[in-house]
Amino acid sequence: MSTLEIIGFSSSILIGISLGLMGGGGSILTLPVLVYMMGINPVLSTSYSLFVVGTTSLVGSVSYMRHHQVNYKAAFVFAVPSFLAVYLTRKYLMPAIPDPIIATAAFSLSKDVAVMIFFALIMLVAATRMIRDKQRSPIGLAGANPFNLPRLALDGVLVGILAGIVGAGGGFLIIPALVLLARLPMKMAVGTSLLIIAVNSLIGFLSDLSNRLVDWPFLLEFTALSVVGIFAGSYLARFVPGQKLKKAFGYFVLVMGVYILAKETLF
């Protein structure tokens, strides 16, 4: 095993820690780790990412369920359209994208590169939100915002499409939607987000199985380390101020996004 692969397996623990601490962010780490450290092609990595993030989130959501910190009504309204979107994206949209996407005498854009560029742009958007977002109390918003069912369902569709294309759980989009549109307290939003990410990601992975040859020993080993990380993250969440962690993680994601964009377009 190379040094880079050892670092990659170690990084899988950070994926779980991120999910345990913030209820999201794990998928932002997973795809770069699989592509750049483990040497797996980007399209297959999006499929592996769905399994890793989905399984890890499912394990993490169990603790929140036991403590009654999952809102099943909000999860249902958000998740059903999201499940359909991720399934249709993985089953039909991704296989339909040509490779190369663009091919001329002077320029060629492969499907793998396009996926990584799109993912890097998503990372930059996510980083900006995490760095600039100010803590807003869901209690203070409760009187001003009703439970916005249509908007919550629409956000579910958008997150489902995103998850299907880049293998991202979309926690950085799910949690603000649950806080602002469903008026959930932050801890309940995290628990509900983990459940949605879990089912969303695993449905996407299952819809992809017929199109992929899966290296199960590698995938299970990588996922097991991520599960260890989510237990550690859930424990650390009791002591680490969420807003400070969110901003620090935002800067890390920003650096990663710039690096991926530069690597895929300049080098």
Q: Identify the band that residue 226 occupies on the pLDDT scale cut at 50, 70 and 90.
A: very high
Residue 209 has pLDDT above 80, yes or no: no
The domains of the chain are located at 3-266
Contact between 171 and 22 (Cβ < 8 Å):
yes
Q: Is 138 exposed, middle or buried (0-12, 13-18, 19+ CB in 10 A)?
A: middle
pLDDT mean over 139-151: 57
Q: Report the residue count for the chain.
A: 267
How many other CB atoms sit within 10 Å of the CB of residue 149? 14
**Residue among 22, 156, 40 at smallest CA distance from 30:** 40
Residue 219 has pLDDT above 90, yes or no: yes
Contact between 162 and 140 (Cβ < 8 Å):
no
DSSP string, 172-205: HHHHHHHHHTS---HHHHHHHHHHHHHHHHHHHH
Residue 141 has pLDDT above 50, yes or no: no
pLDDT mean over 86-105: 84
Structure tokens at 234: 């859930």
Q: Identify the band that residue 245 occupies on the pLDDT scale cut at 50, 70 and 90.
A: low
Structure tokens at 90: 């993985």
Q: What's the confidence (pLDDT) of residue 143? A: 42
Pairing of strands 102-103, 108-109: antiparallel
Share above pLDDT 70 across residues of the chain, in percent, rounded to a whole number: 86
Rounded CA-CA distance 250/126 in Å is 7
Q: Look up the pTM and report it.
A: 0.75
User: Among 7-16, 43-52, 55-64, 136-145, whose mean pLDDT is lowest?
Assistant: 136-145
Residue 126 has pLDDT above 50, yes or no: yes
- In 17-27, which positions are buried (b, 16+ CB within 10 angstroms) versus exposed (e)? bbbbbbbbbbb
User: Among 24-28, 86-90, 210-214, whose mean pLDDT is lowest?
Assistant: 24-28
Residue 238 has pLDDT above 50, yes or no: yes
Q: Is 157 exposed, middle or buried (0-12, 13-18, 19+ CB in 10 A)?
A: middle
Q: What's the confidence (pLDDT) of residue 146? A: 56
Residue 176 has pLDDT above 90, yes or no: no
**What would the pLDDT profile of 1-26 be if each residue is shown by its tens digit?**
788 888 889 988 988 888 887 766 67
pLDDT mean over 211-220: 86
Q: What's the confidence (pLDDT) of residue 137? A: 44
Residue 220 has pLDDT above 70, yes or no: yes
Rg of the chain on CA atoms, in Å: 18
Share above pLDDT 90 across residues of the chain, in percent, rounded to a whole number: 10
Q: What's the confidence (pLDDT) of residue 254? A: 84
Average confidence score pLDDT of the chain = 81
Give strand pairing partners of 102: 109
Backbone angles phi, psi at 103, to 5 degrees: -145, 110
